[in-house]
Structure formats: C-alpha cells, structure tokens
Structure 1
Amino acid sequence: MRTAFLVGEFPSLSETFILNQITGLIDRGCHVDIYATKPKKEGKIHPDVEKHNLLSHTYYYPQIPDSYLRRVWKAIGLFLSNFFKDPILLWRSLNWFKYKKKATSLRLLYTVIPFLGKRPDYDIIQCHFGSEGLKGMDLRDMGAIKGKLCTIFHGLDLSGHLKKYGDSLYDQLFETGDIFMPISNNWKNQLIQLGCDQQRIIVHRMGIDCQQFTFTPRHPDPDGSIRLVSIARLVEKKGIEYGIRAVAQLSQSYSHIQYNIIGDGELRESLEQLIKELNAGEQIKLLGWKQKEEVITILNNSHILLAPSITGQNGDQEGIPVVLMEAMAMGLPVISTYHSGIPELVEDGVTGFLVPEKNYHELAGKIKILVEAHQLWTKIGQTSRLRVENDYDINHLNDKLIKKYKSLV
C-alpha cells in the first residue's frame, strides 16, 4: 500500500507519535513518502529516522519568506527554474479565480514544487493535523497528488486554529475529505459540532510501543529522595509554570523532592526566572531536550510524572500527551489536568490523579498525597500499565490503521 504522509516539520523530536505511525506502517509492508517542512533548527535526530532511512523518502517544500516582496522574488525563480517540469500544475497553483487568497499568497506555488513532473498516485494521503488536511485537499484538487484523503486531528487544529480562523475553517475539507480520525472522543465531538459527517469520523488514538517501556514498581530511594519529572515543550499549553509553582510550594516541607523538567522552547527563559523568584533552584532543574534513550533513562530513575496541561491564551489545547502513556507504561504514577482528551487516559484516583487547569494549590495537594503514601504507587502503576496496553499500544493501533486503510481503498 502506497501512503503519503503530509506533516509539518520533519523530523521533529516532539512528535514521536507521527514517527511511530510511519515506521509502523513501513514495518507492515507499506511504502511511505513524507512531505514536510524542514525543521527550523538542526538538532538531534531520532534513531528510527536513520534506521528506516526516512530522509531518503522525505520531500521538503521550499521555505516561504515572511516578507511578501521576498516571497514574490523567490516564487519567480521557482516558477522559471521548474516551469518545464510541469507547466500546467504551476499555472494551476496561480489560479486566482479558483483559489483566491491561497493563490495570491503564493503558498500553493511553493506547496506544489515537490510534486512537479511526478504527480504521484497513492492509496492513502495521510494528513497529520487539520492544516495538513487543507493542504492535501488543495494538492489533490490541483491534480498534484492522488489518493484517499485522511486527516488526523490532534489538538491545536481544533482549538487555537479555530479561535484564530473561525469555525468554518474546515468546511470545504469536510465536504471533500474521505475520512477524519480525531485522536480522542473529545475531538470527535468537536468535529460533529463543526458539521463534519459523523459517518466519516473514526477515533484513532496515538500510542506507544509498550515493548520499549519496561514496567517497574516505584519505591522511594533508600535516602527518601523522590524525583518528579515533566517532559514537554516549554510552551504555554504544557502548563509547566504550574508544576514549578506546585513543587516550590512544597519545597520547604519536603526538601527531599527533586523536580526535573525535560524539554526546551520559547518559555525557557521566563521559567528559569520563575524558579529563581521562588528560590527553588536547588530542587527544580531545567535539563533541556534529550534523546529518546536519555528520556527513558530519566523516567526509569523517576518516581512521579507531572503533566499540568492548560488551555493557552490563543485557545491552543493538547490532544492526549504521549509522555503520559510512556510514564504510565513504565509504572510511574502520573498527575495531570482535566484538559482535552486526558481524562480518557487518566482516570482520577485509578490510573493517576487529575486537577483543574492552573490550580497549582490542588496540584501540590496531589503531589503531597503521593509523597506521603508511596504504598499507592505500585497499584496505580499496575492499573496504568494495563490501560495503556489495552488502548494505546502502537502495534495494535497500527494494525487497526492498516485495516481502516484497506476498507477505505
């Protein structure tokens, strides 16, 4: 089965759920091509990218300059240098009468470049995030690519993007797309409210390879030390500020707590300043990005995971953070929030604890419960592992995805 993946930046260390799906399909005999935007910064590459030689099957769109004048000059060069590859497709990308602002912005021209002279025919065009679904819709309409159009909705595409662009953003996609796969029941309900045909909606969760995460019952260190961990991009919706505030609130009474934060992002400087203001530098550390193997080592040496997700000021929300699945599979008790699809994975008091968004006082209270009652850790960990194995194992999910593709084709 030939499958095209339309994604954002690739490879991206923060989107291993996409990588797991790609490699899973390849392992099941699918041919996969990837169409993406180059990462903004060169950094660490996930080992699976090299193992499966994915970059040799990855095609990048030319970078679109922010300045419209520079965009025009670059577009002229692209048009002239690629004209004889596929003049008809290039002219279609500039069809103002049909595509309006999409054509005049020149974004369609930049988007068709990897397809010129090829016009590949796929069984499935898999789009991760609604924005890529819109891109796939236009590419297919222009004749740049063929295949059944499948769109997976994750979080930002059904929250922040709707707030910014309006509830009619996906109306045309709903009419022309073949299948829509939100990653949670929460987003399924959102799609229905937006007018998407319920018969074409199938919830398809993201998952992890449980075999890569060994379950280990958790116990405090012999000296009583307890290590908390968060693994997230340092952006608003991850709510790391509230994890810092909660731990800082407990730090004077529980000096044996250590809170390690794995990740990087636009808020790193402000979070470093917050830690200083709260005089919590001895107990709270920002460790930056780590490779997958490094992350697993850190999780193995941790006792509790915090994922205090919130809704950003721009409306941006999570899907279901993969790191919660990883931690639960390894037996860590988790504390998260009543946010998006998280309660579909974490059942309060059963597979972890949940608190209201931004309520760091209650978050501190849940941390205190686990710090003082570490006899709960093993029971919660065992229940959590079972939940992930049953509903979020990537191998089962990829098997289901192949069946969905075959039935659609």
Structure 2
Amino acid sequence: MSSWHFHPKLHQSMKIAYIVESFPVLSQTFIVNQIVGAIERGHEVHIHPIGIFHREDDLERIHPIIKKYRLLEQTHYSPSLPVNYLWRILKAIGLFFVYFYRGSWTCLPTLNFFKYGRAAYSLRLFYQAIGLLSDRQYDIIHCQFGLLGSLALIYRDCGLLQGTLVTTFRGFDVSSLIEQQGSQIYDRLFVEGDFFMANCEFFKQRAIELGCNPQKIIVHGSGIDCQKFAYRPSRIASDGKIRLITVGRLVEKKGIEYGIKAVAKLAATYHNLEYKIVGDGPLRKSLQRLIEELQVGHIVKLLGAKHQEEIIALLAKSDLFLAPCVRANSGDSDAPVNTLKEAMAIGLPVVSTEHGGIPELVEHGVSGFLVPERDVEALMEKIEYSIEHPQEWLSMGKAGRARVEAKYDIEKLNDELVKIYEQLALKKSQSKLEHLITA
C-alpha cells in the first residue's frame, strides 16, 4: 500500500463488476483471488469477460475455487465474433432482436465509427456491449489491465456501465503495449478514470511517467493464499537429488531458455540435478528443441500447464526455484511474479533476475539471489552456490516465507482492496449528496 488513508467502513454490500479479457484463465489466479475475496466479504460480484475471439480455458482444468464459488454462474460472456465480416453483420442483426427485451438498442452508440473508429465498424464494441446487458449500475467497475479500463470508459460513456471506474495495471499494459501503440494510449483514461492501482512500485512509476496523476494511483500487490502453501523446511532429499523448478508461461519474458542453458552447463559437473518446467505457451517447441540440442532431456522436463494443487505438490518436492525473467524484445516485463511468491511461501530459496518488480519481492542474499538478465554465467554461479551451500536453504526459505506473509498474504490484501472500494463508493455518495445540496 501507499499513503492511501482508510476512513470509517461503508457498512453496506456493494455491487462490483470485474472487467476481464477472458475467464477463467489458469495463469490468472490473482484475479480469481480478488473476486473471491469480495464475495467472502459480502459483496455482489459480476464478471464480464469482454474478449470476443476466445472463451474460457478448458473447464476440466479450471481452478477448483471457481467451481466452489460457482463463479461461472456470475460470469456474463460476450457473443463470439465471427471472422467472416458478412456473417458478423448478420449475426449482429440477430443479436439486436434476440436481446431487444434486455435493451439491445442501447448498444447502438458503440457503432459510431466517427468516434470509435475501427473498433466500431469492426462491430467488436457492439458484440462486447451485448455481454454487458445483464446489468448496468455498479458501485465499482474494476478493470483488470489498462486497455480494459479504456474500453470500460467507452461503455460508461454509452450508458452501458455506471459506477466508479478502477483500473489495475499489471505489466504488459504499461510495457509492451506501450511499445506497440504509443505512450498516449491512456491519455483519456488517466483524465476520466476514477482510480488506479499497480501491482508493484515499478509499474506504478511507469504509469505516472505515462501521465497518471500520482494522487490517483497506489500500489496494491497480487496476493496468494499463504495457508494453501504450507511452509516446508528445505533439506537435501534422501536420494541425493537436487530438484530445481520453474513455473510460468512459456513466453520470452520468463527467460526460461537461460535457466535451461545454466542447468545444462552445471549438468556436466552435477549428475544429480533434476529441472522441471511447469507451464505452456508459444515457446514450448523451441524450448524442447533447445533441451534436445543441449542433450539434457534426461534432466530437464517440460511438464505443461498444471492447476494450482498440482503446482503446490511439485513445489513441495523441490529444492530451488528458478525465475530467470527478462525484458522481452517487445518490451513486456514482469511484476513480482506470483509463482515466485508461492515458492517462497513454501520455503524454497530462489534464484531470479534484477528485472521489473522482482527486486521488490526477492531480497538478494536474504531469501535468494538476483542476477542480471540474460546472464547465463551469473545464473549458473548462483545455482551452483546454492547447491554447494544447502545449509543456507533453511534461513533463506524462512526469510522468503516471512516476506510473502508480510507483503502478499491474500487475506490482508483483500481486506485492503475492499476498504479501497468502500472509500471510493463513499466518496462517490458524498459527491452526489453535495451536488444535490448545491443544486
């Protein structure tokens, strides 16, 4: 948190809309945690995935908490957008009549291509708007990622959403997206959006550099459920193996190729290594080729995507967590990585990089080590040091657990988030009252 000051509680249930790209997404448990936190604290939640080409992940693999809280019943999907433009127009006409009883005519302002350009004449805005017809009036509209804040602003202008607009910046939206679309993409959002959050100080400062009012943005980190990640003192396994693990999407910014190269160099000396990589993504084939080229297929294994319970079990059987993150060529960067927090909560010492928001989480030499990005030799040296000094695992693991409990416990963060919502709603109510008095 920053200098945000809490005032007396609002003492009433709020109606909160979460605007997301897709739902559920296996790699975005941080969004699920916030949604569940609001529900547990007595608030009504509506989830609006406004991605129009992709739906939710395989429902057989979704996080169990989504089933437990029946979140799909509170999720309002937009109709899929046909690729064929003629079929897209015909389907839009059909949707207009099918949803007429729910006010589909109110979606027509989204077709103003003079104002909204390509997003309007492509019908993307119209299709997304249909998914918002379930309800309009909210106390809080919380947009997960900056670009969704800009879209929600359009829908608020059109009368399809009403409420205090909160936008969270999480990484690519203030890094690679800026490289692609320019530093002006949030100019209007920074003026008309009500409040902003960033998941680390690194991205907060980036948003301020782009034009966000420093008085309207705070740091609110992504939390984890520390109770789910039971602390386990690190020690060498009875079979003598040293088990390394990385958990993350197989994309450039995770730097996994550098982890593989470092382990491959160490494999010539240390024959008891085992390196498991959990996650999936566009680089899977190229990483598998790299493993084969380096002839370490017997040591390095790509396990694919796993749900949280499977990840917890794998972490509990590991000795050292690697997160060799890098700034991607696109500019994409990472905040304090949730999988790093999970590993530290379990008690694993970590080796990571001086990248993005990671130094806000990992204390170099205390809970692990940080090395320069893309530096295979430095990465290898710190892994080797960790292997050679297992007596330090316990103290590093304890320090990591303490750090996560202090800064990233989901219950504490959800309490703070709901207080923020309450203060924003209270401020809105007081503003309306003042307006009525002076009218």
1:107 alignment partner AA:
R
Mapped pair 1:407 → 2:414: no
- Kindly indicate whether the alpha-carbon contact (under 8 Å) linking 2:233 and 2:394 is maintained by their aligned counterparts in 1: yes
Query: C-alpha separation between the residues in 2 aligned to 1:84 and 1:223?
Result: 67
SS where residue 126 of structure 1 aligns? strand
Query: C-alpha separation between the residues in 2 aligned to 1:74 and 1:340?
Result: 44
1:18 alignment partner AA:
I
Deviations 1:165-214 (A, max 9, x none): 10001111111111000011111111111111111001110011111111
Name which of 11, 15, 21 aligns with 1:8. 21
Alignment of structure 1 residues 102-181 onto 2, 5 Å: 102-116=119-133, 118-181=134-197
Query: C-alpha separation between the residues in 1 aligned to 2:225 and 2:118?
Result: 42
2:117 alignment partner AA:
K
Mapped pair 1:239 → 2:255: yes
SS where residue 149 of structure 1 aligns? strand
**Which deviates more from structure 2 when the two are superposed, residues 82-91 or residues 138-147?**
82-91
Report the Cα offset of residue 30 of structure 1. Answer: 1.1
Structure 2 runs not aligned, ≥5 long: 1-13, 426-439
Report the Cα offset of residue 107 of structure 1. Answer: 1.5
Deviations 1:256-299 (A, max 9, x none): 01000111111111111110000001110111112211111111
Query: C-alpha separation between the residues in 1 aligned to 2:154 and 2:137?
Result: 15
Mapped pair 1:20 → 2:33: yes
Mapped pair 1:395 → 2:408: no
Query: C-alpha separation between the residues in 2 aligned to 1:239 and 1:371?
Result: 21
- Kindly indicate whether the alpha-carbon contact (under 8 Å) linking 2:278 and 2:302 is maintained by their aligned counterparts in 1: yes
Q: Tell me which residue corresponds to 1:74.
A: 91
Report the Cα offset of residue 105 of structure 1. Answer: 2.3
SS where residue 255 of structure 1 aligns? coil
- Kindly indicate whether the alpha-carbon contact (under 8 Å) linking 2:222 and 2:338 is maintained by their aligned counterparts in 1: yes
Query: C-alpha separation between the residues in 2 aligned to 1:106 and 1:209?
Result: 40
- Kindly indicate whether the alpha-carbon contact (under 8 Å) linking 2:351 and 2:370 is maintained by their aligned counterparts in 1: yes
TM-score after normalising by structure 1? 0.96
Mapped pair 1:34 → 2:61: no
Report the Cα offset of residue 66 of structure 1. Answer: 4.3
Change (3 A) 1:338 1:67: farther
Query: C-alpha separation between the residues in 2 aligned to 1:85 and 1:292?
Result: 38
Report the Cα offset of residue 61 of structure 1. Answer: 1.2
Change (3 A) 1:84 1:211: closer
Report the Cα offset of residue 85 of structure 1. Answer: 3.4
Q: Tell me which residue corresponds to 2:286.
A: 270
Name which of 110, 116, 128 aligns with 1:99. 116
Query: C-alpha separation between the residues in 1 aligned to 2:84 and 2:223?
Result: 39
Q: Tell me which residue corresponds to 1:340.
A: 356
- Kindly indicate whether the alpha-carbon contact (under 8 Å) linking 2:107 and 2:160 is maintained by their aligned counterparts in 1: no
Structure 1 runs not aligned, ≥5 long: none
1:93 alignment partner AA:
T
Query: C-alpha separation between the residues in 2 aligned to 1:26 and 1:82?
Result: 28
Report the Cα offset of residue 106 of structure 1. Answer: 1.4
Report the Cα offset of residue 19 of structure 1. Answer: 0.7
Mapped pair 1:90 → 2:107: yes
Q: Sequence identity of aligned pairs in percent?
A: 48
- Kindly indicate whether the alpha-carbon contact (under 8 Å) linking 1:119 and 1:143 is maintained by their aligned counterparts in 2: no
Query: C-alpha separation between the residues in 2 aligned to 1:52 and 1:103?
Result: 35
Change (3 A) 1:66 1:366: farther
Report the Cα offset of residue 255 of structure 1. Answer: 0.7
Query: C-alpha separation between the residues in 1 aligned to 2:267 and 2:318?
Result: 17
Report the Cα offset of residue 90 of structure 1. Answer: 2.4
Tell me how many residue pairs correspond in the alignment. Answer: 408
**Which deviates more from structure 2 when the two are superposed, residues 77-86 or residues 294-303?**
77-86
Q: Tell me which residue corresponds to 1:356.
A: 372
2:93 alignment partner AA:
I
Mapped pair 1:289 → 2:305: yes
Query: C-alpha separation between the residues in 1 aligned to 2:104 and 2:290?
Result: 55
Q: Tell me which residue corresponds to 1:325.
A: 341
Change (3 A) 1:316 1:67: farther
Change (3 A) 1:87 1:54: closer
- Kindly indicate whether the alpha-carbon contact (under 8 Å) linking 1:218 and 1:332 is maintained by their aligned counterparts in 2: yes
SS where residue 61 of structure 2 aligns? coil
Report the Cα offset of residue 115 of structure 1. Answer: 2.5
